[in-house]
């Protein structure tokens, strides 16, 4: 049996998704979707999708009393949202220069350490070790840092500030 190259590529993509445990649904590009189907494809609630439709963010038409969304319009909207999100993530560190961050730039994963992670020393030390070993980038803001120090000093007044400063310097 001969298959066109485009059909073979599609079949490989479908089998790859199935092998990864993902469900696959083949939809013609000109198909019209119900609001529930469109919401499922965007991974949002139906009421949220209806708000997008009513606000004009996503085109639709009515078939009787029911809204219908063209698959191609939905995919164009999804692509634009993904590009916008990627651009926002790219610009995010530049917008937050006032924050202090600890980072391992080689790792694709990022973890934000909150006060509840920084305060208990054994947990903090273990997670810092994981970050330094390249498992993820560890980040925290100046506000998180200040809250951690403030809570520690309030709960442990016997601590020597010089000892605490050494811990802070090592963490940075």
pLDDT band at 93, cuts 50/70/90? Answer: low
74 Cβ neighbours under 8 A, 6+ residues apart? 33, 38, 41, 42, 58
Give per-residue pLDDT as tens, 122-163: 888 888 888 877 788 888 888 888 888 888 888 888 877 777
The residue to which tokens 């063209």 are assigned: 70
pLDDT for residue 68: 94
Average pLDDT over residues 1-5: 82
From 145, 111, 141, select the one nearest 126 (Cα to Cα): 111
R_g (Cα) of the chain, nearest Å: 25
User: Cα separation of 70 and 77, whole Å?
Assistant: 11
Is 149:164 a contact under the CB 8 Å cutoff? yes
| Half-sphere exposure of residue 119: CA atoms within 13 angstroms, side-chain side | 15
Say yes or no: domain 5-95 is CATH 1.10.1660: yes
Length of the chain: 172
| Average pLDDT score over the chain | 81
Domain boundaries, given as residue ranges, for the chain: 5-95, 110-171
From 78, 80, 91, 83, select the one nearest 39 (Cα to Cα): 78
């Amino acid at each position: 049996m001969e298959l066109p190259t485009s059909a073979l590529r599609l079949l490989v993509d479908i089998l790859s998704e199935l092998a990864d445990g993902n469900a696959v649904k083949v939809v013609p590009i000109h198909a019209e979707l119900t609001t529930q189907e469109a919401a499922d494809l965007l991974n949002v609630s139906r009421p949220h999708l209806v708000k997008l439709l009513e606000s004009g963010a996503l085109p639709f038409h009515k078939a009787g009393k029911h809204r219908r969304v063209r698959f191609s319009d939905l995919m164009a909207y999804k692509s634009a949202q993904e590009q916008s999100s990627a651009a926002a993530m790219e610009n995010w560190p530049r917008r937050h220069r006032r924050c202090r961050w600890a980072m391992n730039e080689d790792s694709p994963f990022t973890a934000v350490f909150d006060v509840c992670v920084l305060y208990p020393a054994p947990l903090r030390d273990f997670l810092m070790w994981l970050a330094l070993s390249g498992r993820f980038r560890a980040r925290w803001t100046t506000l998180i840092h200040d809250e951690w120090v403030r809570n520690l000093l309030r709960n442990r007044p016997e601590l020597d500030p010089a000892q605490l400063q050494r811990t802070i310097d090592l963490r940075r």
